[in-house]
Amino acid sequence: MLPPDTVLNHFDPDPTTSLGALLPLIQVKTLVMHGGQDQNVAISEAENLVSKLRNGTLYIFKGRGHLPNITAADEFCEVLRKFIVSA
């Protein structure tokens, strides 16, 4: 079990600790995967993230929600495998 402070911090992010400024410094190929029907995180957030990466790729799971690693496990693994092999 996690300490209460850890759990609360996860759900109450500190806006002063944004790592966004570091994104352009990442030089390795980076894969961002996002459910096309995600109701928790807008797809624009994933698009924004990828736009700040030098070598970012966005893969959208059509018709899937917030957890495509569970709801589309086979596709998720195949996309990840191909990305790793190509990187």
pLDDT 10s digits, 5-42: 777 766 666 667 777 888 999 999 999 999 999 999 99
Is residue 63 one of the residues assigned to a domain? yes
Please tell me the pTM assigned to this model. 0.79
Quote the CA–CA distance of 38 and 48 in Å, as a whole number. 15
Is residue 7 one of the residues assigned to a domain? no
Is residue 47 one of the residues assigned to a domain? yes
Cβ atoms of residues 61 and 35 within 8 Å: yes
Torsion angle (degrees, nearest 10) of CA 3, 4, 9, 12? 160
pLDDT in tens, 63-86: 999 999 999 999 999 999 999 999
Cβ atoms of residues 75 and 63 within 8 Å: no
> How many residues belong to the chain?
87
How many domains does the chain divide into?
Answer: 1
Is residue 16 one of the residues assigned to a domain? no
Is residue 31 one of the residues assigned to a domain? yes
Is residue 73 one of the residues assigned to a domain? yes
Is residue 12 one of the residues assigned to a domain? no
Is residue 21 one of the residues assigned to a domain? no
Residue span of the structural domain in which 81 resides: 27-86
Q: Six-digit token pair at 64?
A: 């899937």
Quote the CA–CA distance of 20 and 14 in Å, as a whole number. 13
